[in-house]
A and B are shown apart, each in its own frame.
Chain A
């Protein structure tokens, strides 16, 4: 088990500082953008919480940060830094396929933490809004309603929408697998497009209004893309040249 854990740590050591840095930057930029818009707002003409998120460009900042996270995780394990990693990975106690699986697990954790911290940050920004706005314009349901009415906030925290939770978890899983598949394919001089297809799907699905049909469609596409990636890893791993 120690050998397996060491492979997991290898992926973590290569990129954790970049992931943490990205999340911190995203949090700072989002907080600054939200605060700026909030404090510029005229007190007698407040805008709704969900509109404030749109005007602060929070979904855009999140989207850019998400794409950067995809880039960071996909490039972890690639051979851009002047070393043929696969020469060592193919001689380890743990097989290269197993290494890819551990990388996928690490990627999933990163995507999950990224998603959870964004949801937490959105919630904290909502609290800032409640503190700042005159009590006549808000009630106990303000935050709850904002998370229902904004597609972005609802995708982050789907409340009672179980199908959207399932979609998010499937997306996190799929993104983890396809990011690991990308670096595996690059090491074997192959092309990996699945992560970018899935990233596009995430960006589109996060601004989609609530609906079980779109969620089921997203789940189906994610399973198809990540399943194809897994088959590719298995096939290419047995057919190296």
Chain B
């Protein structure tokens, strides 16, 4: 269980997270949604201890440090691999540093995405780099896989393939926290949706509850954000002067 208690984060005077409380059990695929600058990436960085914050984040009751950080992996659109190394070299390196590295899953995913094993990652296309970033995160042997816009720049077929593979390979103890703007694409794959706005969790709902209420994820987001459907019409009327 990953527990986040009263976590706040300020960048200078700008508040990025405000007293966030969350509980992420194992075995779920959780979607994290919010506008740009809402605090999605900051929340992930706090979990990974990349930035200092106030509050408490624990993994099975223990603070996150170098002893248990291997239980959390991270795939980001900024990328975190070593560009000069080949995937094969990454595999060997990760096997040394992450004792639960899943070589079988790594090889299987490399084959599935048809990525070359012996070519430096810096020579990959943008889409291939994203795929490789995700493969590393999924193969690390982590219980919690944090993904921050992992497929920004990949085509729709590629993303579709990934979601299917993800559902197929995840073990019951593995959880995914997936930050994305692509609501409609992921709503059939996630089990829970978290909405973050201006550093606050403003929505937290299971997809089962959402189904029972008869709403789509997009409806839920619009409702939570108090989205004004007629604002575009109003803006156009003001701009053009036409009724």
Contacts and interface: CB of A to CB of B under 8 A. Distances in A.
Contact of B49 (A2, A13, A81, A90): A90
A84 B97 contact: no
Interface stretch (A25-33, A46-54, A92-100, A142-150): A92-100
A10 interface: yes
Given A2-B96, A81-B122, A91 B51 contact: no
A84 B78 contact: yes
B14 interface: no
Nearest to B121: A83
A10 B49 CA distance: 23
B82 A241 contact: no
B50 A90 contact: yes
Contacts of A88: 80-82
A51 B81 CA distance: 50
Nearest to B53: A241
B96 A13 contact: no
Contacts of A37: none
Contacts of B85: 10, 13-14
Nearest to A93: B97
A93 B78 CA distance: 22
Interface in B63-92: 66, 69-70, 72-74, 76, 78-85, 89, 92
Interface residues of B, number: 28
Nearest to B70: A91
A240 interface: yes
Contacts of A82: 79, 83, 122, 129
A240 B53 CA distance: 11
A17 to B, nearest CB: 9
A85 B52 contact: no
A56 to B, nearest CB: 35
Interface string A66-88: 00000000000000011111111
A227 to B, nearest CB: 26
B48 interface: yes
Interface residues of A, number: 22
A136 interface: no
Given A240-B50, A241-B52, A94 B80 contact: no
B119 to A, nearest CB: 14
Of A82, A83, A240, chain B has the most CB atoms within 10 Å of the CB of A83
A151 to B, nearest CB: 38
B222 to A, nearest CB: 33
A6 B48 CA distance: 23
Contact of B97 (A14, A81, A92): A92
B225 interface: no
B93 interface: yes
A10 B76 contact: no
Given A81-B122, A91-B69, A240-B51, A14 B93 contact: no
A91 B74 contact: yes
Nearest to B90: A88
A135 interface: no
B129 to A, nearest CB: 8
B78 to A, nearest CB: 5
Closest 10 CB pairs of A and B: A87-B80, A81-B83, A83-B79, A93-B97, A14-B84, A88-B80, A84-B78, A92-B97, A6-B96, A241-B52
Given A13-B85, A14-B85, A93-B98, 17 more contacts: A6-B96, A13-B89, A81-B84, A83-B78, A83-B81, A84-B80, A86-B50, A87-B48, A87-B74, A88-B82, A90-B69, A91-B48, A91-B72, A91-B73, A93-B66, A93-B70, A94-B97
29 contacts: A2-B96, A3-B96, A3-B97, A6-B92, A13-B84, A14-B84, A81-B83, A81-B122, A82-B129, A83-B83, A84-B76, A84-B78, A84-B79, A85-B80, A85-B82, A87-B50, A87-B78, A88-B81, A90-B49, A90-B50, A91-B48, A91-B69, A91-B72, A91-B97, A93-B96, A93-B97, A93-B98, A240-B51, A240-B52
